[in-house]
Structure 1
Amino acid sequence: MKKILVFCFLALGFSFVTKAQEKALTSKGKVVNLYENGTWEYVEKDNGADSTALHIENSIKSEFIETANSNDSLILKDAEIEKCTFIEGPSEKLKKYFKDRNIVQCNFTLQSKDGVARLTTDWRIMNAEAYSYFGFIKKDSFLRLELLGGTVVDLVFKEEFSPKEFEKYGFSTYSAQLEITKDQLELLKNKIVMKAIMNWSRRAEEYQIVAPSYFIEAIPQITE
Protein backbone atom coordinates (compact mmCIF):
# COMPACT_ATOMS: atom_id res chain seq x y z
CA MET A 1 0.00 0.00 0.00
CA LYS A 2 1.62 3.17 -1.19
CA LYS A 3 -0.12 5.40 1.26
CA ILE A 4 1.30 4.95 4.74
CA LEU A 5 -0.48 6.48 7.71
CA VAL A 6 1.61 8.38 10.22
CA PHE A 7 -0.84 7.41 12.94
CA CYS A 8 -1.54 3.95 14.26
CA PHE A 9 -5.06 3.27 15.39
CA LEU A 10 -7.63 0.65 16.20
CA ALA A 11 -11.23 1.69 15.53
CA LEU A 12 -11.04 5.11 17.21
CA GLY A 13 -7.67 4.37 18.83
CA PHE A 14 -4.37 5.63 17.42
CA SER A 15 -0.88 6.75 18.40
CA PHE A 16 1.24 9.73 17.38
CA VAL A 17 4.81 10.89 18.03
CA THR A 18 5.77 13.81 20.25
CA LYS A 19 9.18 15.12 21.23
CA ALA A 20 9.21 13.20 24.53
CA GLN A 21 7.28 10.03 23.86
CA GLU A 22 4.50 8.44 21.84
CA LYS A 23 0.91 9.21 22.72
CA ALA A 24 -2.04 6.96 22.03
CA LEU A 25 -5.78 7.46 22.07
CA THR A 26 -7.51 4.25 23.06
CA SER A 27 -10.79 3.05 21.63
CA LYS A 28 -12.44 4.35 24.82
CA GLY A 29 -11.13 7.85 24.20
CA LYS A 30 -8.40 7.87 26.87
CA VAL A 31 -5.01 9.39 26.09
CA VAL A 32 -1.88 7.51 27.22
CA ASN A 33 1.84 8.21 27.03
CA LEU A 34 3.97 5.33 25.62
CA TYR A 35 7.61 5.36 26.71
CA GLU A 36 10.62 3.81 24.98
CA ASN A 37 11.16 1.32 27.83
CA GLY A 38 7.81 -0.32 27.09
CA THR A 39 5.87 1.30 29.97
CA TRP A 40 2.83 3.56 29.64
CA GLU A 41 0.62 5.82 31.74
CA TYR A 42 -2.59 7.78 31.36
CA VAL A 43 -2.25 11.46 30.51
CA GLU A 44 -3.70 13.66 33.20
CA LYS A 45 -7.06 14.93 32.09
CA ASP A 46 -7.35 18.60 31.33
CA ASN A 47 -9.20 20.69 28.80
CA GLY A 48 -6.17 20.88 26.53
CA ALA A 49 -5.60 17.12 26.42
CA ASP A 50 -9.27 16.39 25.89
CA SER A 51 -9.63 18.91 23.08
CA THR A 52 -6.43 17.71 21.37
CA ALA A 53 -7.56 14.10 21.50
CA LEU A 54 -11.00 14.99 20.14
CA HIS A 55 -9.54 17.13 17.35
CA ILE A 56 -7.13 14.43 16.15
CA GLU A 57 -9.74 11.68 16.51
CA ASN A 58 -12.17 13.58 14.30
CA SER A 59 -9.47 14.52 11.79
CA ILE A 60 -8.53 10.90 11.04
CA LYS A 61 -12.02 9.41 10.84
CA SER A 62 -12.32 10.07 7.13
CA GLU A 63 -8.81 8.76 6.46
CA PHE A 64 -9.56 5.61 8.48
CA ILE A 65 -12.68 4.94 6.41
CA GLU A 66 -10.76 5.55 3.19
CA THR A 67 -8.05 3.08 4.23
CA ALA A 68 -10.51 0.46 5.45
CA ASN A 69 -12.36 0.54 2.14
CA SER A 70 -9.21 0.41 0.01
CA ASN A 71 -8.61 -2.68 -2.11
CA ASP A 72 -4.87 -2.07 -2.15
CA SER A 73 -2.70 -4.79 -0.63
CA LEU A 74 0.83 -4.63 0.66
CA ILE A 75 3.51 -4.95 -1.99
CA LEU A 76 6.72 -6.36 -0.54
CA LYS A 77 10.16 -5.40 -1.80
CA ASP A 78 13.45 -7.13 -1.11
CA ALA A 79 14.92 -5.52 2.00
CA GLU A 80 16.33 -6.31 5.43
CA ILE A 81 15.91 -4.11 8.49
CA GLU A 82 18.72 -3.59 10.98
CA LYS A 83 18.51 -5.78 14.08
CA CYS A 84 16.56 -4.20 16.95
CA THR A 85 15.98 -5.23 20.57
CA PHE A 86 12.24 -5.80 20.95
CA ILE A 87 12.09 -7.66 24.30
CA GLU A 88 14.29 -7.14 27.34
CA GLY A 89 13.43 -7.73 30.96
CA PRO A 90 13.30 -10.25 33.81
CA SER A 91 11.69 -13.67 33.49
CA GLU A 92 9.13 -14.29 36.22
CA LYS A 93 10.20 -17.94 36.35
CA LEU A 94 13.91 -17.21 36.63
CA LYS A 95 13.32 -14.49 39.24
CA LYS A 96 12.10 -17.16 41.63
CA TYR A 97 15.51 -18.83 41.64
CA PHE A 98 18.05 -16.22 40.57
CA LYS A 99 18.55 -12.68 41.80
CA ASP A 100 20.63 -11.53 38.84
CA ARG A 101 20.64 -14.20 36.11
CA ASN A 102 17.02 -13.72 35.11
CA ILE A 103 17.00 -11.41 32.07
CA VAL A 104 15.44 -12.43 28.75
CA GLN A 105 16.28 -10.48 25.60
CA CYS A 106 15.01 -10.93 22.07
CA ASN A 107 16.31 -9.10 19.01
CA PHE A 108 14.17 -8.82 15.88
CA THR A 109 15.40 -8.71 12.29
CA LEU A 110 12.63 -8.19 9.73
CA GLN A 111 13.32 -8.96 6.09
CA SER A 112 11.47 -9.47 2.83
CA LYS A 113 12.68 -11.68 -0.01
CA ASP A 114 10.81 -12.82 -3.13
CA GLY A 115 7.49 -11.56 -1.80
CA VAL A 116 7.75 -13.29 1.60
CA ALA A 117 8.24 -11.45 4.91
CA ARG A 118 10.32 -13.24 7.53
CA LEU A 119 11.18 -12.34 11.10
CA THR A 120 14.34 -13.67 12.73
CA THR A 121 14.11 -13.82 16.52
CA ASP A 122 17.43 -14.01 18.36
CA TRP A 123 16.82 -14.88 22.01
CA ARG A 124 19.41 -14.51 24.76
CA ILE A 125 18.58 -15.95 28.17
CA MET A 126 21.01 -14.74 30.83
CA ASN A 127 21.14 -18.20 32.35
CA ALA A 128 23.11 -21.22 31.15
CA GLU A 129 20.24 -23.63 31.87
CA ALA A 130 17.55 -22.30 29.54
CA TYR A 131 16.40 -25.75 28.48
CA SER A 132 15.61 -26.73 32.09
CA TYR A 133 13.27 -23.76 32.50
CA PHE A 134 11.89 -23.10 29.03
CA GLY A 135 12.59 -26.20 26.94
CA PHE A 136 12.85 -25.56 23.22
CA ILE A 137 10.92 -23.80 20.48
CA LYS A 138 8.83 -26.59 19.01
CA LYS A 139 7.07 -26.65 15.67
CA ASP A 140 3.84 -24.60 15.94
CA SER A 141 5.09 -22.77 19.04
CA PHE A 142 4.15 -19.11 18.75
CA LEU A 143 4.96 -15.62 19.92
CA ARG A 144 1.69 -13.90 20.80
CA LEU A 145 1.57 -10.13 20.31
CA GLU A 146 -1.33 -8.15 21.75
CA LEU A 147 -1.82 -4.83 19.98
CA LEU A 148 -3.29 -1.57 21.17
CA GLY A 149 -7.01 -2.14 21.54
CA GLY A 150 -6.76 -5.90 22.17
CA THR A 151 -6.14 -7.37 18.70
CA VAL A 152 -3.96 -10.49 18.95
CA VAL A 153 -1.40 -11.60 16.35
CA ASP A 154 0.16 -15.06 16.74
CA LEU A 155 3.51 -15.43 14.99
CA VAL A 156 3.97 -19.18 14.48
CA PHE A 157 7.27 -21.04 14.22
CA LYS A 158 7.26 -23.73 11.55
CA GLU A 159 10.46 -25.48 12.65
CA GLU A 160 11.91 -26.78 15.91
CA PHE A 161 14.74 -24.88 17.57
CA SER A 162 16.82 -26.02 20.55
CA PRO A 163 18.87 -23.68 22.76
CA LYS A 164 22.61 -23.36 22.79
CA GLU A 165 23.81 -23.24 26.39
CA PHE A 166 27.09 -21.51 27.23
CA GLU A 167 27.79 -22.65 30.78
CA LYS A 168 31.20 -20.96 30.87
CA TYR A 169 29.67 -17.55 30.09
CA GLY A 170 26.37 -17.98 31.91
CA PHE A 171 23.83 -17.56 29.13
CA SER A 172 21.80 -19.47 26.53
CA THR A 173 20.62 -18.55 23.05
CA TYR A 174 17.84 -19.48 20.64
CA SER A 175 17.75 -18.34 17.03
CA ALA A 176 14.45 -18.95 15.25
CA GLN A 177 12.86 -17.61 12.08
CA LEU A 178 9.19 -17.38 11.15
CA GLU A 179 7.08 -16.04 8.30
CA ILE A 180 4.65 -13.13 8.69
CA THR A 181 1.60 -13.13 6.44
CA LYS A 182 0.37 -10.02 4.64
CA ASP A 183 -2.74 -9.99 6.81
CA GLN A 184 -0.54 -9.93 9.91
CA LEU A 185 1.62 -7.18 8.42
CA GLU A 186 -1.51 -5.10 7.79
CA LEU A 187 -2.38 -5.33 11.49
CA LEU A 188 1.13 -4.78 12.80
CA LYS A 189 1.96 -1.77 10.62
CA ASN A 190 -0.73 0.41 12.20
CA LYS A 191 -0.79 -0.63 15.85
CA ILE A 192 1.77 -0.60 18.66
CA VAL A 193 2.44 -3.83 20.56
CA MET A 194 1.30 -3.76 24.18
CA LYS A 195 2.08 -7.35 25.27
CA ALA A 196 4.39 -10.15 24.12
CA ILE A 197 3.91 -13.74 25.31
CA MET A 198 6.31 -16.47 24.19
CA ASN A 199 5.03 -20.03 24.18
CA TRP A 200 8.02 -22.26 24.91
CA SER A 201 7.71 -26.05 25.02
CA ARG A 202 7.73 -26.00 28.86
CA ARG A 203 5.72 -22.85 29.59
CA ALA A 204 4.30 -19.59 28.30
CA GLU A 205 5.70 -16.36 29.68
CA GLU A 206 5.05 -12.66 29.14
CA TYR A 207 8.02 -10.36 28.58
CA GLN A 208 8.69 -6.65 28.73
CA ILE A 209 8.59 -4.84 25.38
CA VAL A 210 11.17 -2.10 24.85
CA ALA A 211 10.24 -1.18 21.25
CA PRO A 212 6.41 -1.16 21.07
CA SER A 213 6.36 0.69 17.73
CA TYR A 214 8.92 -1.60 16.06
CA PHE A 215 6.60 -2.88 13.32
CA ILE A 216 5.14 0.57 12.61
CA GLU A 217 8.65 1.78 11.81
CA ALA A 218 9.99 -1.39 10.15
CA ILE A 219 7.19 -2.56 7.84
CA PRO A 220 7.21 0.58 5.60
CA GLN A 221 10.88 -0.17 4.93
CA ILE A 222 10.05 -3.55 3.32
CA THR A 223 6.98 -2.39 1.38
CA GLU A 224 6.48 -0.18 -1.66
Structure 2
Amino acid sequence: MRLDLLKSLNAERAARRAAILVTALDGSEQRLVPEAEAAADPLAGELLPRFRSGKSGVIEAGERSWFLTVQVPPPRLVIIGAVHISQALAPMAALVDLDVAIIDPRTAFATPERFPDVPLVALWPDEALAGLPPLDAYTALAALTHDPKIDDPALVAALRAGCFYVGALGSRKTHARRVERLMQAGLSEAQIGRIRAPIGLDLGAVSPAEIAVSVLAEVIAALRRSGP
Protein backbone atom coordinates (compact mmCIF):
# COMPACT_ATOMS: atom_id res chain seq x y z
CA MET A 1 0.00 0.00 0.00
CA ARG A 2 1.23 3.49 -0.81
CA LEU A 3 2.26 5.53 2.20
CA ASP A 4 -0.14 8.35 1.40
CA LEU A 5 -3.07 5.91 1.24
CA LEU A 6 -2.03 4.31 4.52
CA LYS A 7 -1.95 7.71 6.21
CA SER A 8 -5.37 8.58 4.81
CA LEU A 9 -6.80 5.22 5.88
CA ASN A 10 -5.45 5.69 9.42
CA ALA A 11 -6.96 9.17 9.54
CA GLU A 12 -10.37 7.81 8.57
CA ARG A 13 -10.06 5.07 11.17
CA ALA A 14 -9.12 7.53 13.91
CA ALA A 15 -12.14 9.69 13.07
CA ARG A 16 -14.52 6.66 13.08
CA ARG A 17 -15.27 7.14 9.40
CA ALA A 18 -15.67 4.20 7.04
CA ALA A 19 -13.53 3.77 3.93
CA ILE A 20 -12.66 1.11 1.39
CA LEU A 21 -9.24 0.55 -0.14
CA VAL A 22 -9.82 -0.46 -3.77
CA THR A 23 -6.93 -2.44 -5.29
CA ALA A 24 -6.74 -3.72 -8.86
CA LEU A 25 -5.39 -7.26 -8.69
CA ASP A 26 -3.24 -6.65 -11.76
CA GLY A 27 -1.35 -4.03 -9.73
CA SER A 28 -2.31 -1.16 -12.00
CA GLU A 29 -4.40 0.91 -9.62
CA GLN A 30 -5.12 1.52 -5.96
CA ARG A 31 -7.31 4.18 -4.36
CA LEU A 32 -9.01 4.94 -1.08
CA VAL A 33 -12.74 5.65 -1.18
CA PRO A 34 -14.21 7.31 1.94
CA GLU A 35 -17.84 6.46 2.57
CA ALA A 36 -18.89 10.07 1.94
CA GLU A 37 -17.51 9.81 -1.62
CA ALA A 38 -18.54 6.25 -2.43
CA ALA A 39 -21.75 7.10 -4.28
CA ALA A 40 -19.75 8.94 -6.95
CA ASP A 41 -17.18 6.17 -7.41
CA PRO A 42 -17.28 4.05 -10.61
CA LEU A 43 -17.66 0.97 -8.39
CA ALA A 44 -20.41 2.49 -6.24
CA GLY A 45 -22.75 -0.44 -6.80
CA GLU A 46 -20.16 -2.78 -5.30
CA LEU A 47 -18.85 -0.44 -2.59
CA LEU A 48 -22.06 0.75 -0.93
CA PRO A 49 -23.25 -2.71 0.18
CA ARG A 50 -19.80 -3.36 1.67
CA PHE A 51 -20.22 -0.49 4.10
CA ARG A 52 -23.27 -2.30 5.43
CA SER A 53 -21.75 -5.77 5.59
CA GLY A 54 -18.27 -4.71 6.64
CA LYS A 55 -16.81 -7.59 4.62
CA SER A 56 -13.69 -7.38 2.47
CA GLY A 57 -13.26 -9.50 -0.64
CA VAL A 58 -12.63 -9.87 -4.36
CA ILE A 59 -15.07 -8.54 -6.95
CA GLU A 60 -15.23 -8.63 -10.74
CA ALA A 61 -16.18 -5.35 -12.41
CA GLY A 62 -15.40 -3.76 -15.74
CA GLU A 63 -13.59 -6.88 -16.93
CA ARG A 64 -11.12 -6.46 -14.08
CA SER A 65 -10.62 -8.06 -10.69
CA TRP A 66 -10.49 -5.88 -7.60
CA PHE A 67 -9.85 -6.49 -3.93
CA LEU A 68 -11.92 -4.37 -1.56
CA THR A 69 -10.37 -3.83 1.86
CA VAL A 70 -13.29 -2.59 3.94
CA GLN A 71 -12.73 -0.55 7.06
CA VAL A 72 -15.81 0.34 9.08
CA PRO A 73 -15.83 1.60 12.67
CA PRO A 74 -16.88 -0.95 15.30
CA PRO A 75 -20.64 -0.44 15.75
CA ARG A 76 -21.72 0.81 19.16
CA LEU A 77 -24.88 0.59 21.23
CA VAL A 78 -25.51 3.27 23.82
CA ILE A 79 -28.29 2.25 26.19
CA ILE A 80 -30.07 4.95 28.16
CA GLY A 81 -31.37 3.40 31.35
CA ALA A 82 -29.98 0.73 33.66
CA VAL A 83 -33.29 -1.14 33.63
CA HIS A 84 -34.31 -4.81 33.45
CA ILE A 85 -34.40 -4.74 29.64
CA SER A 86 -30.85 -3.39 29.66
CA GLN A 87 -29.67 -6.25 31.86
CA ALA A 88 -30.64 -8.68 29.10
CA LEU A 89 -29.79 -6.42 26.16
CA ALA A 90 -26.22 -5.53 27.13
CA PRO A 91 -24.74 -9.06 27.18
CA MET A 92 -26.66 -10.08 24.05
CA ALA A 93 -25.37 -7.01 22.20
CA ALA A 94 -21.82 -7.84 23.23
CA LEU A 95 -22.24 -11.33 21.76
CA VAL A 96 -22.86 -9.80 18.31
CA ASP A 97 -19.79 -7.55 18.69
CA LEU A 98 -21.50 -4.29 19.55
CA ASP A 99 -19.54 -2.04 21.87
CA VAL A 100 -21.99 -1.32 24.68
CA ALA A 101 -22.25 1.51 27.19
CA ILE A 102 -25.06 2.24 29.62
CA ILE A 103 -26.00 5.71 30.84
CA ASP A 104 -28.25 6.31 33.83
CA PRO A 105 -27.90 9.03 36.48
CA ARG A 106 -29.81 6.89 38.97
CA THR A 107 -26.99 5.33 40.93
CA ALA A 108 -29.35 2.85 42.60
CA PHE A 109 -29.83 1.23 39.19
CA ALA A 110 -26.46 1.80 37.50
CA THR A 111 -24.37 -0.55 39.64
CA PRO A 112 -21.61 -3.00 38.72
CA GLU A 113 -23.51 -5.73 40.53
CA ARG A 114 -26.44 -5.40 38.12
CA PHE A 115 -24.22 -4.86 35.07
CA PRO A 116 -20.97 -6.78 35.40
CA ASP A 117 -18.40 -6.12 32.68
CA VAL A 118 -20.47 -3.35 31.09
CA PRO A 119 -19.25 0.28 30.98
CA LEU A 120 -21.60 2.30 33.18
CA VAL A 121 -21.86 6.08 33.25
CA ALA A 122 -23.91 7.26 36.22
CA LEU A 123 -24.45 10.79 34.91
CA TRP A 124 -27.21 12.71 33.16
CA PRO A 125 -27.06 12.11 29.39
CA ASP A 126 -25.74 15.55 28.43
CA GLU A 127 -22.77 15.15 30.75
CA ALA A 128 -22.32 11.46 30.09
CA LEU A 129 -22.27 11.78 26.29
CA ALA A 130 -19.73 14.58 26.50
CA GLY A 131 -17.32 12.14 28.15
CA LEU A 132 -17.85 9.29 25.68
CA PRO A 133 -16.69 9.01 22.05
CA PRO A 134 -19.01 11.20 19.97
CA LEU A 135 -22.24 9.70 18.69
CA ASP A 136 -22.00 9.00 14.97
CA ALA A 137 -23.43 7.07 12.03
CA TYR A 138 -22.10 3.79 13.43
CA THR A 139 -23.78 4.25 16.81
CA ALA A 140 -27.19 2.97 17.88
CA LEU A 141 -29.03 4.49 20.82
CA ALA A 142 -31.84 2.85 22.78
CA ALA A 143 -33.71 5.03 25.28
CA LEU A 144 -35.29 2.75 27.87
CA THR A 145 -35.94 4.72 31.07
CA HIS A 146 -39.45 5.92 30.19
CA ASP A 147 -38.41 9.17 31.92
CA PRO A 148 -38.40 12.22 29.61
CA LYS A 149 -35.82 14.00 31.75
CA ILE A 150 -33.35 11.23 30.97
CA ASP A 151 -34.46 9.92 27.58
CA ASP A 152 -35.19 13.17 25.73
CA PRO A 153 -31.72 14.76 25.88
CA ALA A 154 -30.18 11.52 24.66
CA LEU A 155 -32.68 11.23 21.81
CA VAL A 156 -31.98 14.80 20.72
CA ALA A 157 -28.23 14.15 20.71
CA ALA A 158 -28.60 10.88 18.79
CA LEU A 159 -30.87 12.35 16.12
CA ARG A 160 -28.64 15.37 15.59
CA ALA A 161 -25.59 13.10 15.33
CA GLY A 162 -27.20 10.90 12.67
CA CYS A 163 -27.02 7.64 14.63
CA PHE A 164 -27.97 4.70 12.42
CA TYR A 165 -30.58 3.55 14.92
CA VAL A 166 -32.57 5.51 17.50
CA GLY A 167 -35.24 3.72 19.50
CA ALA A 168 -37.35 4.66 22.49
CA LEU A 169 -39.47 2.67 24.91
CA GLY A 170 -43.09 3.66 25.36
CA SER A 171 -46.59 3.33 23.96
CA ARG A 172 -47.85 5.23 20.93
CA LYS A 173 -49.59 7.66 23.28
CA THR A 174 -46.35 8.19 25.17
CA HIS A 175 -44.50 8.70 21.90
CA ALA A 176 -47.01 11.28 20.71
CA ARG A 177 -46.21 13.38 23.76
CA ARG A 178 -42.51 12.76 23.13
CA VAL A 179 -42.87 14.05 19.57
CA GLU A 180 -44.37 17.30 20.87
CA ARG A 181 -41.47 17.79 23.29
CA LEU A 182 -38.83 17.07 20.65
CA MET A 183 -40.42 19.49 18.20
CA GLN A 184 -40.30 22.14 20.91
CA ALA A 185 -36.60 21.27 21.30
CA GLY A 186 -36.07 22.24 17.67
CA LEU A 187 -35.98 18.89 15.90
CA SER A 188 -37.63 18.53 12.51
CA GLU A 189 -40.42 16.10 11.67
CA ALA A 190 -37.98 14.14 9.51
CA GLN A 191 -35.51 13.79 12.36
CA ILE A 192 -38.18 12.75 14.86
CA GLY A 193 -39.60 10.32 12.33
CA ARG A 194 -36.40 8.27 12.54
CA ILE A 195 -37.21 7.18 16.10
CA ARG A 196 -38.30 3.56 16.34
CA ALA A 197 -41.16 3.77 18.80
CA PRO A 198 -42.47 1.60 20.27
CA ILE A 199 -38.95 0.23 20.31
CA GLY A 200 -38.10 -3.20 18.90
CA LEU A 201 -39.46 -5.46 16.20
CA ASP A 202 -43.06 -6.52 16.70
CA LEU A 203 -42.41 -10.03 18.03
CA GLY A 204 -45.18 -10.01 20.61
CA ALA A 205 -42.47 -9.69 23.28
CA VAL A 206 -43.67 -9.62 26.89
CA SER A 207 -40.77 -10.14 29.29
CA PRO A 208 -37.75 -7.80 29.59
CA ALA A 209 -35.56 -10.45 27.96
CA GLU A 210 -37.95 -10.86 25.04
CA ILE A 211 -38.13 -7.09 24.57
CA ALA A 212 -34.33 -7.02 24.59
CA VAL A 213 -34.30 -9.61 21.78
CA SER A 214 -36.71 -7.49 19.74
CA VAL A 215 -34.58 -4.37 20.26
CA LEU A 216 -31.35 -6.12 19.30
CA ALA A 217 -32.98 -7.60 16.19
CA GLU A 218 -34.14 -4.14 15.13
CA VAL A 219 -30.67 -2.68 15.69
CA ILE A 220 -29.06 -5.41 13.57
CA ALA A 221 -31.63 -4.91 10.81
CA ALA A 222 -30.97 -1.17 10.78
CA LEU A 223 -27.22 -1.75 10.57
CA ARG A 224 -27.16 -4.49 7.95
CA ARG A 225 -30.16 -3.76 5.75
CA SER A 226 -30.31 -0.02 5.39
CA GLY A 227 -26.81 0.85 6.51
CA PRO A 228 -25.58 3.81 8.60
TM-score above 0.5, yes or no: no
**TM-score band, normalised by shorter chain:** under 0.3
In the superposition, the TM-score normalised over structure 2's length comes to: 0.25
As a proportion of its length, which structure holds more strand? 1
Which structure exhibits the higher relative contact order, with contacts defined as CA atoms closer than 8 Å and separated by 6 or more residues?
A: 1
